[in-house]
Structure 1
Amino acid sequence: MLSISIEMLFITKIILSPSFFRLVKNPRNVRFLTSFARVLALQTFGSHILLKRLIIQTQII
């Protein structure tokens, strides 16, 4: 089960804000938001993998 991170809440707050629609009108901002979301997704995914490895290693020891 995945936990909700602060980053996910932050992204949700950005998307629900009225100023988000003004940001999306500019293609450059869309590219920035897309790459920002990718970085956050990779960080979240990577941290879950590291946590699983840590749990497995502690069970072996």
Structure 2
Amino acid sequence: MIYRILRKGEVRVNKKRIKPEYKLEAGDEVRIPPVRVAEREEEAVSPHLQKVAALADVIFV
């Protein structure tokens, strides 16, 4: 994800776009954009699997 942000030119050093190979130097001013991480949606479990799991609990408990 970080490499993608650098590659797209969203990270700026000294108000200029930089390449991913750029090495920071003392006194460089870095601007990093806000990064949003998508939350994962819970996968729906089929009712059949829920019944099987419930039966397994009954049998093995």
TM-score by length of 1: 0.21
Higher helix share: 1
The higher radius of gyration belongs to 2
Higher strand share: 2
